[in-house]
Chain A
Amino acid sequence: MFSVVFRLGLILAVCHFSSRIGTAGEISFLGQIAPILTQRCLGCHGPLKADGDLRLHTIDAILTPGASGVPTIRPGQPEQSELWVRLIAEDESVRMPQWDDPVSATEIELVKQWIAEGADFATADHTASIKSQMPPRIHPISPSRYHVPVPVNAVAFSPDGTVLAVGGHHEILIWDVATTTLLRRLQRLPERIQALDWTMHGKRLFLAGGTPGDYGELSFVNIEGEAPPVVCDTFDDIVLDVGVSRSGQQLVAASADRSVRCYGASDGRKMWRSQLHSDFVTAVDFSHDDRFIATGSTDFTIKVLHAENGQLFTTYNGHQRQFGDYKGRFAIFAVAFSNTQPLAFSAGQGEAIRIWEPEKAQAENGSAADMEERFSNAGHTKHLPHGSQRSVFQLRVYGNRLFAATGDGVIKEYDTLTLSHIRDYVGHRDWIFALDYHPLSGHLATGSYDGEVRLWDVTTGETIAAFAARPQ
């Protein structure tokens, strides 16, 4: 999650989304056919499963017949193409998707017409997954009212601290901080918003999110005017966090599809992509000097990458220890760097927040397999037990203030120098998933699973306001 607000200085000129969509009049494979395959076929004939030895997740795979040996597509001959024949079969055991609702008549007609027209893949890449090449999804308008609470996964103060952006359902809700009135609804956005950040002048918002298990998106939207959101990139699973460099030059997205992707903040240019984690990447942040990026994952590791090229600097293993105190394997949900010194804070499952330094972590990463056992100690890592029964989902560090949002519904504040406990912010009745801190106003904003947003005064620890983040 963004560690500090309004550090994005440069205005984004435009986000490139390389468009490979065909020209009007023809049927576009990526725009019209690929979504049908993705939604209805890839479950059984995709990267995870290959029923009948058939996969349809890349164009090369589509062009390779399955166990039957019958070609999936014969350009110009829908009646000879297994893809279409199986969609219209009357026998339920033959028809695809098998034992399921049939594909709609309109979609079947599209497939037929596309094959009849020559089954043109246009300029699409034959080896990359078709899902990754599909154009961004068109998102629906949000319901006028929420009939059930929507969990708050992201909150962000505007640079001047007067308004608060809150992630909603296919939208961002813009609230006035002083009156807690809803100012605006920015719509046609991904289903869940997991990360939000304002540009420095407060006119634009970066957002990341998506649909779990299915789709992720990184985009930005203007606060004023009616311009539609601009999509920077799409992902195979939801984007869980975004980090912005202290200089405002770089943007990094962490996704449940296990990828970490870096972009130039000014033009949305893709800089590098890293795929080192073996599970969801849940959290990302830049070091105080923009040298490193740390990415936390449910694979129990934190990868420290060189910010400039995404190469691995070291792996921090302090969340999976076999010996000594705090041993066990713990998923990581939050990573935050100090803004003044080379110090990282990380937390998730387990009893303690870990405090560590990338350089020292690298030095301790010896090759001897029994090293941890021989020196059964925590190395340089300091453990800060938080006393919460549940996980820590967010961390924010600014100066010597450290905030941790927990599943117990309590925000814990610590002093980063003395590691002493300053206070608990008590009031939420559900797991806290979102947290932001505005140093100038001394306000803290938090959001929980039950859809509640709370504003706090960090000088007193008192709640300023609490409201349900839903349109009235």
Chain B
Amino acid sequence: MSALLSFLITVTRVWGCVLAGANPAQVDETPRAVESGAADLERIDVYPASVELKSARSQVQLVVTGYFPDGEVRDITDVVRLKIEAPQFAEVVGSSLIPRADGQTQLKVVYGARQAQVQVTVSGQGGADPVKFQTEVLAVLTKQGCNAGSCHGAPEGKGGFALSMLAYAPHNDAQSLIRDGHARRTTPIQPEESLLLRKPMLRVPHVGGKRLRKTDAAWQVLTDWISAGAKQDAADSPTCVQLTVYPPRARVLRLPHGRQQLSVQAVFSDGSIRDVTPIATFTSTNLEVVTVDAKGLVTGHKRGMAAITVRYLSLVESVFFTFEQALDGFEWNDPAEYNAIDRLVHTRLKQMQFRPSQICDDSTFLRRLSLDLTGLLPTAAETIAFLADSTSDKRARRVEQMLQSEEFAHFWASKTADLMRANPTAMPDGRAQLFVEWLTDSLRRNQPFDQFTQELLTAAGDANSVAAASYFLAIPDREALAETTAQLFMGSRINCAKCHNHPFESWTQNDYYRIAAVFARIKSAGSILQLVDSGEVTHPASGAIMRPWGAAQPTAPPHEPGDRRAVLAAWLTQPDNVYFSRVEANRIWSHLLGRGIVHPVDDFRSSNPPANPELLDWLTTEFRGSGYDRKSLVRLICNSATYQRSAATDSFNAADTTLFSHYYARRMTAEQLFDAVGYSTRTIPPISIQITEIRQQAEVLANRTAELDLEYETWEAAQREKLASVECNLSPWHYAGVFAEPNYEIAVSTAYAPEQALDLLAPLPGDRRWTAHPDWVDGQQHAFPTAAPGSHYVARMIMAARPGKAVMSFGSDDGLRVWLNGKLQLDKPERRGISNDADQIEVDLVQGANLLLLKVLDAGGYTGFFYRQVSFDGHPVSPTELSAEMTAILRIVPAQLTSSARLILRNEQRKSDSRWTSLRQQQLQLSQLTAYHTQRAVPEQNDFLQAFGQPKRESPCTCERLGEPTIDQTLQILNGDLVWSRTRDGLNSYLSFTDNESLLNEIFLSALARLPQADEREKLTQYLHDHANRAEAIQDLLWIIINFQEFVFQH
């Protein structure tokens, strides 16, 4: 009677929900583990809320969670009692449910005084439920490690058996498993005898060792699949579109209750949902903190945080686990919160039982802030003034002051420049300086980061005027552009996905080539980045044309016009983009705190979770809310107590390396150290003089630019007027170099690249490039720079105001061929010496651009050519100063000018202004002249800098800057050339200090931003006193200071 009553009560409840205070049901099973603390339980929760078993092989993993009054959440799956009301329909195996027959029943979950019920619906038991190849067989091959990159997933496979890495090519895998190797791997008529099972079970020798046991879910999947004939799926089989892991995203567990069962459900393209817990792959990101078994049972081992990554086919989800542990003697010290950052940091610290360090002293703060915001040590004078300042807001004011400094813009620009290949090889002819100046100016103006990104990613034209275009010119191909752009702005290292699906992340090969497709329609020629209207990226395996990343409509045809990069930039910078603001906020945090909340800063993935997600969320929101104001975020962080904590630790936070309980001391960067040695030895003058000059120069240049902009319309009109007066305009000659060929006849008969297609902007085979020779004036003989036998090509553009006849006159050594607009006009291949006016021809020019190409053949000795344009339309031709390119653009009606054409015109205007060009030249020289490497657009590379890990600026990875200590560094600091010469040269300046106290003060303030302590003062005064040679003693002193840990470190 009471059992019936309780049944009636329970069926009326909501399935799987909380049943606080209900009577325990009469169940007779014994609990599978000890119920500790069951009495205190507040409620229990069962996942999933209802169970549907829709086919014969279906099963559902249950997860039961207990909630305790003190806030503890505990997985009680293995200690609850599970009972099926009607066991003829379903059965409990371990903590999973499996079907028996169609019907409905209840699962009763009982724990102490608490219980819950779950509706169980069983259907489809009569129907077939064949194992699916793509969604089951391939999943278990991944789970067992068969297709790992070091095993059969290697490009050539292993032992003659190749699978695609992590099953990215299912069709190839099917062939490998079913028919390849004389069909040796599967034996459907006797499934258990299949090599595919016997090898990994070690029934026959297997180099890869034991990989499969009969008790593994994989064994049953493989055996059933082979037994049913080892078939591929039908072409329209559903694919997995979504993965749902329980518990979702994150879970906090309190040790010793560190166990958690996971449940993984896959949603398929036909809408069906299946529990795939047994065939999903689980990995831990930190095995010291947490491990996970093949069935998805997670075990925490010690206090800390780590993620469990769940992979199913190409989908990856992570659950972020936090394990708390009560520490003996831990007491929260209620530190002050300066702003919201501290609240969020403290919450996490309190939870993990780390105690924050004290706020650092003023000296430490000033030195730290100066190094972080300007890259430089504070000057002695600044330090004295700051220490003497007794106002309460002096730190905030100092932050503000440094944010507005010119040094800030230079130093922070160099951080970005490091990642964008701003080196003289990738950006030659001074374009690296121009590019970094552009980065600097963006920071100087505090340009919102979204605008900065858009300007960068849509840059086109001549990089000498549109400096941002260098970003594209410096990166060799579109794949590298895709990788770099993703790493910089999406914090994702997608390069693995170039060849196969990403091993730790859900980036697929499709995604990779879709991002690459964004850069399919740009073309670089020398310093010019052109937009072109054709070009596609195809998937290397399927050959499909890839739709560019960021395109709003999934079905949009890939051929649509427009700058694809603008679409990507718009996608990146829209407010709900999950990467953009997070990645930059994290980068800024990392610059200041020495470690990213996500670390490394360019490796965002669900398996590399943030150390403090709430903090990163908040910073992201704040950054976005401020209109992507970089300085504002820096300000916020620098004004937090977290930033201002001492680097000193105690026993309650020494172990913390990720949660910012104390400041993480770090060695100065190569450039910082170089500058610090120079400044503190007084061998380079204080930066302030130079920097003021640079800033003033920048302002003067900006003013001149503004003036020119005002005059622009007038200027353009004047150019158009000038053009109108010209009938026939000749561009400078362009020389392609020699296509060497010792055999003259072969040289004559071979049509090299310029003959095949003439494009003065396009690169030529080898390292050749069309080079302009404005010095080759018409009416004179010109020798080629390289006198090698073969074919030399010269070409020029002729702009004609209207169609008309032109008379041209040539000479050459040796033979000559002339084409106009691709049509052969003169054919004199015989060997001969040069003479003026050897051949004269009349040709028809079309209106607009005409291309004239000369092939000058050389059999050896002198080689060169002669040209003179006799007349156009019966009139003699007079030279003008308008370039042919300019002429071409100016012929376009103003309304139809593209933005890049406009940029070229503006650049022409500026270049034609001698004041502007000289001002810019001066500015570039100034910024390159400074002795401070943290402030230079392109730092020099020397032994000292390289020893301390200066990056060569060749990759978008922050890892290019090396942080590891090396013997070389120790030697450099102990007795390297730089330290030796700096201390030697510096002593002269310090000799002017005659009394020891002010000498020591000056040295300590310059190098360490503090005054010497009493014991230091005493010892060093004694040292100075004891040494008769004061110069040597001062040099020693400087050497000692430089060798202080306190000097080398930012702390």
Contact = CB atoms under 8 A, between A and B. Distances in A.
Same complex: yes
Interface of A: 39-40, 42-44, 46-49, 97-101, 143, 146-151, 153, 169, 191, 194, 211-214, 238, 240, 256, 279-280, 282, 298, 407, 431, 433, 449
Contact of B206 (A48, A151, A433): A48
Contact of A143 (B189, B199, B204): B189
A433 B179 CA distance: 10
Interface stretch (B4-12, B190-198, B674-682, B824-832): B190-198
Contact of A100 (B160, B187, B213): B213
B207 interface: yes
A213 B179 contact: no
A194 B204 CA distance: 20
Interface string B186-220: 01111001010011011111110110011000000
Contacts of A46: 205
Contact of B187 (A49, A143, A191): A191
A191 B201 contact: no
Contact of B195 (A100, A213, A240): A213
A100 B210 contact: yes
B205 A43 contact: yes
A279 B160 contact: yes
Contacts, number: 84
B195 A212 contact: yes
A304 B189 CA distance: 37
A304 to B, nearest CB: 23
12 contacts: A42-B205, A46-B205, A49-B207, A49-B209, A97-B202, A100-B210, A101-B214, A148-B229, A213-B184, A213-B198, A256-B184, A431-B179
Contacts of B204: 43, 213-214
A43 to B, nearest CB: 3
Nearest to A211: B193
A150 B210 contact: no
Given A211-B193, A212-B187, A213-B195, 10 more contacts: A46-B205, A48-B205, A98-B210, A100-B201, A100-B202, A148-B227, A149-B188, A150-B188, A280-B182, A449-B183
A43 B206 contact: yes
Nearest to A153: B182
B185 interface: yes
B206 A149 contact: no
A43 B160 contact: no
Interface residues of B, number: 29
Given A43-B202, A213-B199, A282 B182 contact: yes
B542 to A, nearest CB: 16
Nearest to B180: A391
A151 B183 CA distance: 8
Contacts of A214: 195, 198, 204
Interface in B589-644: none
Nearest to B191: A148
Most A Cβ at <10 Å: residue of B187, B189, B201, B207: B189
Given A49-B207, A99-B213, A100-B213, A191 B182 contact: no
Contacts of B182: 153, 194, 212, 238, 240, 256, 280, 282, 433
A44 B202 contact: yes
Nearest to B227: A148
A43 B203 contact: yes
Contacts of B210: 43-44, 98-100
Nearest to A42: B205
Most A Cβ at <10 Å: residue of B182, B188, B202, B227: B182
Contacts of B184: 212-213, 238, 256
B203 A433 contact: no
Contact of B189 (A169, A238, A407): A169
Contacts of A153: 182-183
Nearest to B185: A212
Contact of B183 (A40, A97, A282, A433): A433
The 5 closest A-B pairs by CB, nearest first: A43-B202, A212-B184, A148-B188, A48-B205, A213-B195
B160 A280 contact: yes
B195 to A, nearest CB: 5
Contacts of A407: 179
Contacts of B199: 213
Contacts of B193: 191, 211
Contacts of A431: 179
Contact of A149 (B181, B214, B229): B229
A431 B181 CA distance: 12
Contacts of B181: 212, 280
Contacts of A99: 210, 213
B207 A48 contact: yes
A48 B209 CA distance: 10
A112 to B, nearest CB: 23
B160 A47 contact: no
Contacts of A280: 160, 181-182
A97 B205 CA distance: 13
Nearest to A142: B189
Contacts of B198: 213-214
Contacts of A48: 205-207
Interface in B389-424: none
Most B Cβ at <10 Å: residue of A97, A151, A282: A151
B206 A449 contact: no
A407 B178 CA distance: 13
Interface in B210-254: 210, 213-214, 227-229
A47 B204 CA distance: 11
A194 B206 CA distance: 24
Contacts of A449: 179, 183
A326 to B, nearest CB: 20
B190 A169 contact: yes
B874 to A, nearest CB: 58
B205 A47 contact: yes
Nearest to B206: A43
Contacts of A147: 189
Contacts of B213: 99-100
Contacts of A212: 181-182, 184-185, 187, 195
A107 to B, nearest CB: 14
A49 B229 CA distance: 32
A49 B179 contact: no
A101 B195 CA distance: 18
B865 to A, nearest CB: 38
A199 B179 CA distance: 31
A194 B193 CA distance: 17
A256 B193 CA distance: 17
A430 B229 CA distance: 14
A169 B190 CA distance: 9
B436 to A, nearest CB: 46
A398 B89 CA distance: 65
B727 to A, nearest CB: 56
Nearest to A299: B160
B291 to A, nearest CB: 17
B203 A39 contact: yes
Contacts of B214: 101
A327 to B, nearest CB: 17
